[in-house]
Structure 1
Amino acid sequence: MIHSARLSRRPSRRLVAGFAVGALLVLAGCAPSPPADAPAAADTFVVATGTEPDTLNPVLNYGVDGASLIFDGLVARDAENRLVPGLATALPTVSADGRTVTARLRAGVLFHDGTPLTAADVVFTYRAVLDPKVDSTLRSDLDMLASVEAPDDATVVFRLRYAYAPFPQRLALGIVPAKALAGQDVNTAGFNRAPIGTGPYRLESWTPGDRLVLAANDAYFGGRPANRRVVVAFVADDNVRAQRSRAGEFDAVELAPKLAAGFDNDAGYRVERVPTADYRGVMLPMGNPVTADPAIRRALNVAVDRQAMVRGVLGGAGEPAYGPVPPGSEYAEPAVAGKPGADPAAATALLDAAGWTPGAGGIRVRDGRPARFTLMYPAGDSLRKELALAVTADAKKVGIEITPAGLTWDAIDTRLGADALIMGYGTPYDPDFVSYKLFGSRFAGQGYFNPGRYRSEVVDRALQQGRDQADPARRRAAYSAFQKQLAADVPWVFLSYLRHTYVVRASVAGVTPRVEPHEHDVANSLWWNIHTWTRR
């Protein structure tokens, strides 16, 4: 799979096992999908992704940035990722002091069970996120939210503890019906696997480890979908997903760049290379005595050949990365960018100065400890494997020995504090949305939130200032300070920003790529607007 860095087990680490990889996708009541030039049903689209949600409840972190197909938020994003009204009649209004945000709901919106949407459902959704008894990692994303109230059935008022400039973007969260969850334990409710939303599709069936079948919501407020059914196939292994694509099973599929390139000359398909804010890098744990050493981290940072990785591993579908804020962002700090190629002389000088001297086999040693560590990656992810191998080769040239290890996510979970990991994340929306949790000391060791236990007072202060400030110039200054300190400490060696690569059947019309975040499985993928897709 081409994504799936994991911030925390529950919201982000998708199920990646539990199906027979040789089994062919079978639609309910249908035979296996026919070849590319003969789709099984003109009104059914079959798409495939490498990861599967743990839950389909937005309160528990499903599709929190919108485009979830099943739910809608108060706001949505258009093809340019600009905020547009969703369940709200217009973009929410913000008070002069930035601490009161008000939204008015559309009239006549129905949930999939036919019950009407009201402001009480919005209030319930956000209060559930804030409820400490609910296992929602979104709660820390809403630290600024003091209260949410419904003065009437069509109005929702959010009151903030402090002005938080990107708060309207948080209103893309899907709204759940209060009636379906009130009085239940949200963490274990049946709703989590049999949800009811307002979105363009309703859940027809979910076969864990295999597929999700969605049926058109004819009463959708945005207009009846152009197709009747969407099947999302879950196929964890990159190569198996490519083989099944060759067999003509899918109308659209995410593939690693090299695998997708194999379809470039196939007239039955086209390859979409979608720009993203999705980065890959090496997370270096502070609990490992080798990777905790600043000289090792800084040497690796200049030893890796990012341009060669983009050219070779990504097949050109990406660009070098030096930090967690994408180069196209207004918050990007240009001073942190380094050389896209390797600088082994600089790496060697750093190691020499820190007392890491060449030993047996060219591996550097200090105080009897060899410069050696393990670099984990999820075994089914061919792209991360290739990145791990590339980092290993570059590190060896300067005397650092890395042992790549392809493991299951369950095995990786137990070793996060001791071994390095090829990770990734990223968002095109606002720098607060990912970096606050990924690099803040407050979250150190909380699963895939800051798994390397990196701590910096400078970074903590800058991240807090970035979310506390409403003034754009002050926010830019805060995130500049954050990026500079991160570049000095090197808790991660950032490698590349990806272009997500999809293979799409040539007969499919209406595909509209937009800049994607890291998370792009059922939600926020190329098929964010699949309800408008048709066949030529």
Structure 2
Amino acid sequence: MRIQRATGVLLVVGAAAAGLLTGCSSQDQVPSIGYAIDNVITTYNAGTSAGAATGAKAAFARVLPGFGYVGPEGATVSDTDAGTANVVPGEVLTVQYRLNPNGVYSDGTPTTCDDLVLAWTAHNGRFTLTDDKGATAPVFDAASSAGYSDIDRVDCQPGSKDATVVFRPGRTDTNWRALFGAGDLMPAHIAAKAANVPSVVTTVQSGDQDGIGRIADFWNTGWALAAGQLDLSRFPSSGPYRIESYSAEDGLVLVANDKWWGDRPGTPRIVIWPKTADLPGRITAGAVQVVDIGSGSVPGLSLDGFTSTDIASRSSEQLILATSGVFQAATVRKAFGLCVPRSALFDQLGHVGDPPETGLGSGVLNTRFVASDALIYPPASAAGVALRGGDAPGAKVALGGATPTVRIGYLGPDDRRSKTVAAIAEACKPAGITVQDAAAADFTPKALREGTVDAVLAGTAAGAGAAGTAEPTEALYALRAGSGSNYGNFSNPRFNDIVDQLAIEPNPDTRLTLSVEGENLLWGEMPTVPLFDEPRTVAFADGLRAAVPNRTEAGSGWNMDRWVLRR
């Protein structure tokens, strides 16, 4: 990442000028840094619906980089280590991508435009299957088609370092720089070999449906990660780190990739400890030097020897509701929204310390996709302000005598979310609503689609840990019909139109009008119940350099290759 390297050079020069390097050399560099996150790591592929909800983006941003990464405040930053992307003048948005000529995977295979074609093919939603009931579904289990569905074609010669991405007429995506980013570019040569096709590019260009189907089968599940059961040949890296091993005892071990063409990582070994590890025990044992978890989610943490801070993140803590079963009728969803004690939950669990007067973490979240620090938040949040929650009498009237049981699932154990469910159960009981805690250590948001729970308690787009960016894209597509991250199967044609128009609309006045309409529509339909901007606790061991909290889906590991710990 060029910006971070330049900053590091300036710091070294400044230190030399001040005569401080001698003092630094008296300390030994720690050769391995442990990084604790509050999510599971079950796949290498962050683009699948399963991967997007897990810790894949937090774990592999510097293992599978792309043309951009999510910076600390949530904006996309170009990563020229991967290559360059430049707009070609013309009436239709056309972007010329040029991969770094030195780019190569850790298995020796060059990075090529085949990787871009695979990313586009997997995310564009064009390849579908029809079941015996006439229903169609994408063959690729992508979390979202945002941006990629606006691309008409990707011109690429197999094995080339160049790709020309041509968007559809009238679909000038305002957030195109977020495409082909960290975690999006999976190794196409691995998928092609597993699918037994000559290349991804030739298979897609020839319209070979059987071949595309086999590629999809592998893309969906072939990069699954199971601790202790890795065929490392399937997981080559294109970044400064590569996977060395993964086990319950030793965590996910990343080591320096000797094929990496950029600056060498500051620390040769990073160990990622997922939620399934005994985080308090690992911290006490000295195996963890970086912590990035939901505030209050893990009790019993001892952070002596750390510099700890609590930040309001860009992840929207929310209840994602089914649109079938007990919540099939919008009236029942709205009744449930009335009794959920949103104000009390924010006061008790939604912030750490004194909240700011405005912006992220300032109060109850009254929107689904407009960020609380956006200029348009006040008008967009107006409909939600009147529905503060905790209105059991109103909910009881709205239910008209019905007494539903609501099963709320989430990835456990999670102390804060457990308390959240308990508070909702107490507040909704007088309305005749029975709330059951359905947390599980192997919980996934697909349980909502399968009908084994009625609501999911999670962050933006059902992310269990670090989630969200400064752009509304993920939150919007999580409620768009047909999106892989739309676990509640919410469907509203007008909202779909709003999502599609916001993706290409540059005019701020029009964006305001659309956003207000969209947020009002969602309050009327109640597919989710927003709670607050998730507070997160970030802690860095004393002596750790270049560590910077990141309040987005990338987590604090966004620049892990710059970390250096001296003691």
Shift of 1:511: 0.9
CA distance in 1, matches of 2:61, 2:84: 20
- CA–CA distance in structure 2, aligned partners of residues 121 and 474 of structure 1: 36
Give distance in 1, aligned partners of 2:384 and 2:493.
22
1:247 aligns with 2:285: yes
The size of the alignment, in residue pairs, is 469
Q: Structure 2 CA distance, aligned partners of 1:373 and 1:343?
A: 16
* Structure 1 counterpart of 2:527, from 491, 514, 528: 491
TM-score (norm 1): 0.76
**1:324 equivalent in structure 2:** 368
Cα distance per residue 1:242-284 (max 9 Å; x no partner) = 23323332112334423678668x5412223233221222233
Whole-angstrom distance in 2 between the partners of 1:494 and 1:59: 24
Deviates more, 1:200-209 or 1:494-503: 200-209
> Which of 72, 76, 88 pairs up with 2:69?
76
Distance change in 2, residues 1:495/1:471 (3 Å): same
Structure 2 matches for 1:327-366, cutoff 5 A? 327-329=372-374, 332=377, 333-338=380-385, 342=389, 344=391, 348-349=393-394, 351-352=396-397, 354=398, 356=400, 366=401
Q: TM-score under structure 2 normalisation? A: 0.72
1:434 to 475, 487, 509: 475
How many angstroms apart in 2 are the aligned matches of 1:477 and 1:171?
A: 30
Aligned residue identity for 2:563: W
Name the residue aligned to 1:85: 79
Cα displacement (A) at 1:391: 1.2
Any residues of structure 2 matched to 1:338-487 within 5 Å, and which?
Answer: 338=385, 342=389, 344=391, 348-349=393-394, 351-352=396-397, 354=398, 356=400, 366=401, 369-407=402-440, 409=442, 413=446, 416=449, 417=451, 419-426=454-461, 427-436=468-477, 438-443=478-483, 449-487=485-523
Q: How does 1:518-529 map to 2 (within 5 A)?
A: 524-529=554-559
Report the alpha carbon displacement of residue 341 of structure 1 after superposing the two structures with TM: 5.5
2:319 to 265, 268, 282: 282
How far does the alpha carbon of each residue in 1:186-226 deviate from its partner, in whole angstroms, 9 at most, with x for none? 44487665322221102212236862111113553441111
Q: Are the aligned partners of 1:144 and 1:160 in contact in 2 as well (CA < 8 Å)? A: yes
Q: What SS does the corresponding residue of 2:30 show, helix, strand or coil?
A: coil
Look up the match of 1:310.
Answer: 346
Q: What residue number does 1:43 align with?
A: 31
Instruction: Pick the aligned partner of 2:181 from 147, 172, 184.
Output: 172
Query: What is the alpha-carbon root mean square deviation over aligned residues?
Result: 3.5
**TM-superposition CA deviations, 1:284-312 (whole Å, max 9, x none):** 323234x4454443344344333432332
> CA–CA distance in 2 between the matches of 1:84 and 1:404?
42
Q: Find the aligned partners of 1:66 and 1:54 in 2 and give their Cα distance.
A: 11
2:105 paired residue among 103, 111, 130:
111
Please name the residue that 1:149 is paired with: 155
Distance 2:437 2:443 in 1: 17
Q: State the partner residue of 2:192.
A: 182
Deviation (angstroms), 1:127? 4.0
| The 10-residue stretch of structure 1 (174-183 or 56-65) with the greater mean CA deviation from structure 2 | 56-65
Equivalent pair of 1:201/1:215 in contact (CA under 8 Å): yes
Q: Could you tell me how far 1:532 is from its partner in structure 2?
A: 0.8
**Does the 8 Å contact 1:66/1:73 carry over to 2?**
no
State the AA in 2 paired with 1:431.
Answer: P
Quick one: distance in 2 between partners of 1:514 and 1:411?
24
**CA separation in 1, counterparts of 2:71 and 2:36?**
23
Letter in 2 for 1:285: A
Q: Please list the CA deviations of residues 323-371 of structure 1 after superposition, one character each: whole Å capped at 9, or x if unmatched.
A: 3222123564232341696553xx524643x473xxxxxxxxx2xx425
Greater Cα shift, 479-488 or 105-114? 105-114
Cα distance change of structure 1 residues 532 and 115 upon mapping to structure 2, 3 Å threshold = same
**C-alpha separation between the residues in 2 aligned to 1:255 and 1:119?**
36
Answer yes or no: is the 8 Å Cα contact 2:245–2:254 preserved in 1.
yes
Inter-CA distance 508–350: structure 2 relative to 1 (3 Å threshold): same
Equivalent residues of 2:410, 2:457 under 8 A apart: yes
Q: Is the 8 A contact 1:57 1:191 kept in 2?
A: yes
Which stretch shows the higher mean deviation, 299-308 or 160-169?
A: 299-308
More displaced 10-residue stretch of structure 1: 198-207 or 269-278 = 269-278
Further displaced range: 163-172 or 408-417: 408-417
What secondary structure sits across from 1:390 in the alignment? helix
CA distance in 1 between partners of 2:520 and 2:40 (Å): 35
The verdict on how the C-alpha distance between 1:385 and 1:327 changes in structure 2, with shifts beyond 3 A counting, is: same
Where 2:238 maps in the other structure, the secondary structure is coil
Say whether residues 1:532 and 2:562 are aligned partners.
yes
1:521 corresponds to: none
Give the counterpart letter for 1:137 in structure 2: A
CA distances 1:62-91 after superposition (whole Å, capped 9, x unpaired): 756996121121223444434223345544
Question: What is the identity, as a one-letter code, of the residue corresponding to 1:226?
Answer: G
Shift of 1:422: 1.9
The structure-2 alpha-carbon separation of the partners of 1:123 and 1:461, relative to structure 1 and needing over 3 Å to count, comes to: closer
The change in CA–CA distance for 1:310 and 1:248 in structure 2 (over 3 A counts) is farther
User: How far apart, CA to CA, are the structure 2 residues paired with 1:123 and 1:349?
Assistant: 52
SS in 2 for 1:197: coil
Say yes or no: does 1:211 pair with 2:251: yes
The one-letter code sitting in structure 2 at the alignment partner of 1:201 is: Y
Query: 1:57 Cα deviation (Å)?
Result: 3.8
Please say if residues 66 and 76 of structure 1, whose CA atoms lie closer than 8 Å, have aligned partners that are also in contact. no
Partner secondary structure for residue 276 of structure 2:
coil
Does the CA-based 8 Å contact 2:33-2:269 persist in structure 1? yes
**Which one of the candidate residues 132, 141, 145 is aligned to 1:140?**
145
State the distance in 2 between where 1:406 and 1:259 align.
13
Q: Structure 1 CA distance, aligned partners of 2:382 and 2:505? A: 22
Contact 2:409-2:455 at 8 Å conserved across structures: yes
1:113 positional shift: 2.9
Pair 1:286–1:52, CA change in 2 (3 A): closer
1:512 shift after superposition: 0.7
Deviation of the 1:399 alpha carbon: 4.5
Contact 2:317 2:533 in 1 (8 A): yes
Query: 1:127 & 1:286 partners in 2: Cα distance?
Result: 29
Secondary structure in structure 1 of the residue aligned to 2:194: coil
User: The residue matched to 2:495 in structure 1 has which SS?
Assistant: helix
Inter-CA distance 509–339: structure 2 relative to 1 (3 Å threshold): farther
| Structure 1 runs not aligned, ≥5 long | 1-38, 357-365, 518-523
Residue 42 (structure 1) shift: 0.8
State how far apart, in whole Å, the 2-side matches of 1:67 and 1:476 are: 35
Distance in 1, Cα, partners of 2:242 & 2:79: 21
Q: Deviations over 1:113-170 (max 9, x none)?
A: 3444344443454345558486341573321122112379443210112222212211
Cα distance in 1, alignment partners of residues 481 and 109 from structure 2: 44
Q: Which has the higher helix share?
A: 2
SS in 2 for 1:528: helix
Query: How far has the Cα of 1:485 moved from its partner?
Result: 0.4
Equivalent position SS for 2:407 = strand
